Amino acid sequence: MSLLVVGSVAIDTVEAPGGRAEDVVGGAALYFSLAASFFTPVRMVGVVGADFPRSVLADLARRGVDLAGLEERPGRTFRWSGRYHEDVNVRDTLHLDLGVFGDFRPTLPAGYRDSRYVFLANIDPVLQASVLDQLHAPGLIGCDTMNHWIAESRPALERLLGRVGMLVINDEEARLLSGERNIVRAAARILSMGPHSVLIKRGEYGIIQFAGQSVFAVPAFPLEEVTDPTGAGDCFAGGVMGELARSGDTSPAGLRRAIVYGSVMGSFVVEDFGPRRLLQLTREAIDRRYRQFVSLTDLDGG
């Protein structure tokens, strides 16, 4: 089943544990699309400037990402530069230039309006809602957000959450959104806002998911080196939504499997700068690491 993602496409410069990398492509929609493309066809809606490398568009197309919804406009692509701390769960933004992303108004090609699986990556919640307004009959709607919108656009965000099935955020965002420090109470508060499940990203500690009375935890994959954490959360979301769109199984067990696939994709992307690792990845490597994830918590393993 086709999967729609709407979000940023960017050119990043990062100072990460593995060193410095200049002008690597990134952005939530790009990472999400590449990760999801290993599971299902992806429709990507975003905007790039004239400076965006065309070879990357060819890479995306080769991986089955439909680019009919990617606007190309005169001007510069959204640029972000940041520095990760020794604790890679923390990063500072050094420079931000919105470029053509500054007046991005997502418009779905007519052929995208029937999308059943939809992911609203982190953008203004008013724009996220405008995407939903353009859809005929969305099935599962996933959504990300960030501290800025929680603090500055809470009414719009709360209206949006009433229309969202699955919220994917990090623990700091979950605490800010809910006003609760304890993660169990934070999740209960968020579920009362609308989503039927909330997936909380905890960096090097993995994922915890709350859905109704059910709680599911996946540890992060124990990596000896994290070269560049950029895109881990977006690749996680791409793996989750990609596997759900592929299987069509949104039962509790189907969701748990998808969360492990998401964790697999997040664990790969950090092994190299930008999306490099994803571009060399095979389905076999994904399934091999899926089995390693299972053995991480397998009581009969070792």
- CA 90 – CA 212 distance, rounded (Å): 30
We find the least distance from the C-beta atom of residue 147 to a copy of itself, in angstroms, to be 18
* Residue with smaller CB distance to a copy of itself, 65 or 168: 168
**Joined tokens for residue 116:** 């059943």
Of 26 and 142, which CB lies nearer to a copy of itself in the complex structure? 142
Paired sense of beta strands 10-16 and 19-26, if any: antiparallel
Backbone angles phi, psi at 21, to 5 degrees: -130, 130
Residue 81: CB minimum distance to a copy of itself, A: 23
Which residue, 55 or 213, is less far from a copy of itself as judged by CB?
Answer: 213
Give least dist CB 257 to a copy of itself, A. 6
Nearer to a copy of itself, 2 or 89 (CB): 89
Residue 116 neighbours by CB distance under 10 Å: 17
CB of 224 to a copy of itself, least distance (A): 5
The residues of the shown chain that bind a copy of itself, judged by CB under 8 A, are 86-87, 181-185, 188, 202, 204-206, 208, 211, 214-219, 222-226, 251-253, 255-257, 260, 294, 296-302
Report strand pairing: 10-16 vs 117-120.
unpaired
Taking the least distance from each CB to a copy of itself, the nearer of 43 and 201 is 201
Nearer to a copy of itself, 163 or 257 (CB): 257
Smallest separation, CB 271 to a copy of itself (Å): 13
Q: Give the list of residues 6+ apart from residue 106 with CB closer than 8 angstroms, or none.
A: 6, 45, 46, 69, 123, 127, 130, 131
3-state secondary structure of 223: coil
CA–centroid distance for 24 within its chain: 18
Distance of CA 233 to the CA centre of its chain: 5
Instruction: For the CB of residue 301, give the shortest distance to a copy of itself in the complex, in Å.
Output: 7
Cα-based angle 60, 38, 219 (whole degrees, multiple of 5): 120
